[in-house]
Amino acid sequence: MNKVYKNAKEALAGVESGMTLMLGGFGLCGIPENCIAELMELGLTDLTCISNNAGVDDFGLGLLLQKRQIKKMISSYVGENDEFERQMLSGELEVDLIPQGSLAERCRAGGAGIPAFFTPAGYGTEVAEGKEVRFFNGKAHILEHALEADFAFVKAWKGDRYGNLIYKGTARNFNPVMATAGKITVAEVEELVEPGELDPYFIHTPGVFVQRIFQGSNYEKRIEQRTVRTK
């Protein structure tokens, strides 16, 4: 079994315009930087991107927005990106804003073979428009459907040739759930190691969910809100 690809260019073979993509990360933390750079390089258009956020104007998914490569975004919070807000308010960009927990669970459900589920989040708000409502234990819930993607792009700290992954700190966020929900999941890692080098007790994403893996390079790991205290 060998899932190793040489670089982002090879690992993204088969990604086409019009596809639905998942991209891990929270803000700029744990985003698949190499895959995003390659998507920009490929110049694909009409992409539907499922990602908690949309990057900032000049980094992360913001790069694809600048080039008008994205047709539709499915996100929970996009407040750090002026270009996004502009494209959304002008109607150039289709946007589906959904509660963060529902987004995570919809990805989890997609990867876990659960087509839909009921959640209280969003009941009584515009998020619930057109969705089935049911009461459980006297409380209103809305029906949310699972999300799946043609490709899921995730970023991990360490990974092995079998696709087992370990994430670092809060760079975990949406990556593990999205890794389960891609028809093809591509993992880019800071450190690619041989099977046996990762402790099986501490694997976050078991390799079965990952189809392609490559050693990433030149990580910028930009910090959005550098907040420190003085000694």
Residues near other proteins (CB under 8 A) are: 26-30, 52, 75-80, 85, 88-89, 95, 97, 99-105, 107-108, 119-127, 157, 168-177, 204, 221-231
Nearest to other proteins of 5, 182 (CB atom): 182
Nearest to other proteins of 12, 159 (CB atom): 159
Q: How far is CA 229 from the centre of its chain?
A: 31
In degrees, rounded to 5, the angle at the alpha carbon of residue 55 between the alpha carbons of residues 52 and 58 is 170
Nearest to other proteins of 6, 231 (CB atom): 231
Shortest distance, position 10 Cβ to other proteins, whole Å? 26
Nearest to other proteins of 51, 211 (CB atom): 51
Shortest distance, position 82 Cβ to other proteins, whole Å? 11
In degrees, rounded to 5, the angle at the alpha carbon of residue 170 between the alpha carbons of residues 217 and 3 is 45
Nearest to other proteins of 150, 224 (CB atom): 224
Shortest distance, position 13 Cβ to other proteins, whole Å? 28
Shortest distance, position 136 Cβ to other proteins, whole Å? 12
- Contact, 43 vs 68, CB < 8 A? no
What is the DSSP annotation of 154-169? EEEEEEETT--EE--G
Enter the tokens of residue 210. Answer: 């990952």
Shortest distance, position 218 Cβ to other proteins, whole Å? 14
Buried residues in 67-82 as b, exposed as e (16+ CB within 10 A): eebbeebbbbebebbe
